[in-house]
Amino acid sequence: MIESAIAWLLNLIAAPEVGLTSVFLISFISATLLPLGSEPAVFAVIKANPALFWPTILVATVGNTLGGAVDYWMGYRAKQAFAKERETRWFRWLARYGAKTMLLAWLPGVGDPLCTLAGWLKLPFWPSVAYMAIGKFARYLTMTGLLLYVPDGVWHQIGQWLG
């Protein structure tokens, strides 16, 4: 019974009309300051429907980049509330390297606050978003590519250990 439920869920996630929307929403939300990872959703959709590899990578990149842009906007608006924090080394580092630091927006735990700080410092918006997109695209492409090279037997073994 549980196996048929899992198969049904994977088929639902793999459907382009549902899977890509789910990937977008999860990628968007995970790019905000909420602790959520989008890689499992991206991997599940691609594993269930390999023909959706590039559309899934692109949708995840767009969703995650837009979430980063929301972080940027929050930082832009919060600037007046925390003016004394501007003296920390993070701010000096961001001010020194500018929008190119958004290449690191993909880093877990650091990337989302980095986008917020970029907005706070009023780094140029479109260059910041472009660098965010490049970094996030490279992350999704690398992570998903590596996960696809793991043999199915390993995933089945992990599933047996967990379940």
pLDDT digits (tens, 9 = 90+) for 16-40: 566 888 899 899 988 886 767 888 8
Please say if the pLDDT value at position 157 is more than 90. Answer: no
Please say if the pLDDT value at position 15 is more than 60. Answer: no
Following DSSP, what letter does each residue of 85-96 receive, concatenated? Answer: GGGSHHHHHHHH
pTM: 0.72
The confidence score (pLDDT) of residue 159 equals 82
In sequence order, the 6+-apart residues with CB closer than 8 A to the CB of 58 are 137
Residue 27 burial (CB < 10 Å; 0-12/13-18/19+)? buried
pLDDT digits (tens, 9 = 90+) for 80-127: 666 666 666 777 778 889 899 888 888 887 888 888 888 888 899 999
The confidence score (pLDDT) of residue 10 equals 57
The confidence score (pLDDT) of residue 130 equals 96
The confidence score (pLDDT) of residue 113 equals 83
Task: Give the separation between CA 27 and CA 10, rounded to whole angstroms.
Answer: 18
Task: Count the Cβ atoms, other than its own, within 10 Å of residue 11.
Answer: 13
The overall average pLDDT reported for the chain is 83
Structure tokens at 62: 């767009």
The number of C-alpha atoms within 13 Å of 131 and in the hemisphere containing its C-beta is 19
Looking at per-residue confidence, does 95 or 45 come out higher? Answer: 45
The confidence score (pLDDT) of residue 141 equals 93
The confidence score (pLDDT) of residue 69 equals 93
The confidence score (pLDDT) of residue 114 equals 86
Eight-class DSSP state of 99: G
Task: Give the separation between CA 158 and CA 152, rounded to whole angstroms.
Answer: 10
